[in-house]
């Protein structure tokens, strides 16, 4: 009996040690605002106001949706460096799987940032956070802003394909500067839950296209909304 109890305790400690006590799955809800864009009320009404990230172990799916107008999803794996993008806009249902060259193009198309050393600050969603002061070197319209990341989740390089790729952890507050829009994104809620593998599966029968074509579709979409 004593041996059985010892083995049970040992196995429990081993399982905890596998992820260092970090949260390995769940869903984060974010609010989106546009403080760096001069938008009319009509433009602002057309733009998305929420984003979600669902993650499990080292895989995550980021969703930005605006009613029935469009839905975009980015499925990424920080360890294998797999990256897929999906778009549903009316009858257009496209996806693209980025190769290494595509990822380089994606990274080079994004703003360049200088980051301060991380500092401990107020927590978001009750998790320990690292705060950074960020200076954009390629967009004069963006002043120095704060970004907040946490390393309390198993994903340790969630933004590996973005301008924040050198920052460790999961972003809880940052900006997304793409397609002529600057979105300020801030986490508002975290739901700790068991995420099923099937949640990463395609919802529709997507037509796979090259990344360049997919990117053009996205640019056309945002040009319509803000012009």
Spell out the domain ranges in the chain: 19-226
27: pLDDT confidence band, cut at 50, 70 and 90?
Answer: very high
Across 10-14, 15-19, 124-128, which has the greatest mean pLDDT? 124-128
How high is the mean pLDDT of the chain? 88
DSSP 129: -
81 Cβ contact partners less than 8 Å away, ≥ 6 residues apart: 100, 103, 160
Give the Cα-Cα-Cα angle 112, 118, 122 (nearest 5 degrees).
115
pLDDT of residue 19: 56
| pLDDT single digits (tens) 134-144 | 999 887 778 89
Q: What is the average per-residue pLDDT within 186-209? A: 96
**pTM, rounded to two decimals:** 0.88
Please list, in sequence order, all residues whose beta carbon lies within 8 angstroms of the beta carbon of residue 203, skipping any fewer than 6 positions away: 88
pLDDT over 90, % of the chain: 70
CB atoms within 10 A of CB 142: 19
Q: How many helices (H) and strands (E) does the chain have?
A: 4, 13
Q: What is the mean pLDDT of residues 16-31?
A: 81
- Backbone torsion region of residue 102, taken as left when φ is above 0, otherwise alpha when ψ lies between -120 and 50, otherwise beta: alpha
- Residue 82: which pLDDT band, with cuts at 50, 70 and 90? very high
- pLDDT category of residue 215 using cuts at 50, 70 and 90: very high
Alpha carbon separation from 41 to 3, 46, 176, 225 (Å, rounded):
69, 9, 21, 12
Q: Is the pLDDT of residue 117 over 80?
A: yes
Which residues share a beta bridge with 62?
A: 53, 74
Question: Which CATH topology does 19-226 take?
Answer: outer membrane lipoprotein receptor (LolB), chain A (2.50.20)
Confidence band, pLDDT 50/70/90 cuts, at residue 43: confident
pLDDT bin (cut points 50, 70, 90) of residue 224 is confident
């Amino acid at each position: 009996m004593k041996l059985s109890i010892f083995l049970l305790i040992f196995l429990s400690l081993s399982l905890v040690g596998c992820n260092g006590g970090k949260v390995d799955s769940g869903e984060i809800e974010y609010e989106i605002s546009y403080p760096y864009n001069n938008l009319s009320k009509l433009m602002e009404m057309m733009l998305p106001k929420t984003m979600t990230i669902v993650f499990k172990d080292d895989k995550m799916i980021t969703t930005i949706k605006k009613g029935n107008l469009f839905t975009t999803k980015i499925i990424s794996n920080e360890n294998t460096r797999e990256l897929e993008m999906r778009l549903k806009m009316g009858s257009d249902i496209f996806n693209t799987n980025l190769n290494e060259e595509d990822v380089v193009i994606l990274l080079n198309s994004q703003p360049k940032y200088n980051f301060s050393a991380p500092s401990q600050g107020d927590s978001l969603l009750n998790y320990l956070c690292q705060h950074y002061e960020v200076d954009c070197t390629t967009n004069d319209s963006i002043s120095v802003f704060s970004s907040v990341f946490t390393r309390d989740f198993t994903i340790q390089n969630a933004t590996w394909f973005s301008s924040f790729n050198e920052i460790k952890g999961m972003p809880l507050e940052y900006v997304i500067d793409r397609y002529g829009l600057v979105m300020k994104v801030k986490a508002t809620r975290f739901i700790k839950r068991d995420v099923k593998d099937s949640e990463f599966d395609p919802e529709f029968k997507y037509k796979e296209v090259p990344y360049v074509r997919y990117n053009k579709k996205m640019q056309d979409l945002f040009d319509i909304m803000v012009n």
